[in-house]
Chains A and B, each alone.
Chain A
Amino acid sequence: QVTLRESGPALVKPTETLTLTCTFSGFSLSTNGMCVTWIRQPPGKALEWLARIDWDDDKYYSTSMKTRLTISKDTSKNQVVLTMANMDPVDTATYYCARIDAAAGLKFDSWGQGTLVTVSS
């Protein structure tokens, strides 16, 4: 059974750097075709894709966010970390991580429950 869980601070101050961790089980990010992605959703708004990291360590970022984002993985810990620099109140959102099975049709087949991050001084 595949599970993912997001963790990180619930509250950050403007200009701070946010660090979120996605801890997963049921698959390995060293397996060919496995990827993990981050998506966010401001309250009452639509989903926004942020970043993705693949089994071979390829990394991809949102065009508008790429100067602020860094994604990395620790295969031994089954974790993916997303950092977002220079946080602003507009970055208040629920942040989700999800697994992508690229070997089976790029299926975003498993999602975490999400973690709400509020940016406020």
Chain B
Amino acid sequence: DIVMTQTPLSSPVTLGQPASISCRSSHSLVNSDGNTYLSWLQQRPGQPPRLLIYKISHRFSGVPDRFSGSGAGTDFTLEISRVEAEDVGVYYCFQATQFPHTFGPGTKVDI
């Protein structure tokens, strides 16, 4: 199974300041079709997860442009350009390149 790790696991942030979360996979996430199925999910307190980013850097519909994803192969990053209060929650990276799909442990972002 592909193991996903995230750093940091907890990230105190300042409103209006940038934040960054790293995600690393134990194997390359490049699929045989050439795509990399690495997604980022946000889970606000008491809410189900929601998709932010898919295929490394594609922002999902309705996601603010302060969220961006980057990376390749085994190393990926989620960046928030200017943190807002509504961004508090846990962020998960997730790979769907290979079965079984796997999640990272989550990074808690709080003010």
Interface set of A (CB-CB < 8 Å, partner B)? 37, 39, 46-49, 52, 60-63, 96, 100, 105-109, 111-114
Interface set of B (CB-CB < 8 Å, partner A)? 1, 35, 37, 39, 41, 43, 48-51, 54-55, 58, 60, 92, 94, 96, 99-106
Q: Using A47-B103, A96-B48, A107-B54 as known contacts, say yes or no to A63 and B1 having CB atoms under 8 A apart.
A: yes
Would you call the interface of chain B mostly helix, strand, loop, or mixed?
loop
Select one of B1, B41, B104 contacting A108, CB under 8 A.
B41
Would you call the interface of chain A mostly helix, strand, loop, or mixed?
strand
Contact B103–A105 (Cβ < 8 Å): no
Count A-B contacts at CB 8 Å: 62
A60 to B101, CA, bound (A): 9
Contact A111–B100 (Cβ < 8 Å): no
Nearest residue (CB) in A for B39 is A108
| Chain B positions within 8 Å of A107 at CB level | 39, 51, 54, 60
A24 to B110, CA, bound (A): 33
Of all A-B residue pairs in the complex, the 6 with the closest CB atoms, nearest first, are A49-B101, A111-B48, A106-B96, A47-B103, A106-B37, A60-B99
Whole-angstrom distance from the CB of A25 to the nearest CB of chain B? Answer: 17
A113 to B48, CA, bound (A): 6
| Chain A positions within 8 Å of B100 at CB level | 49, 60-63
Nearest residue (CB) in B for A6 is B48
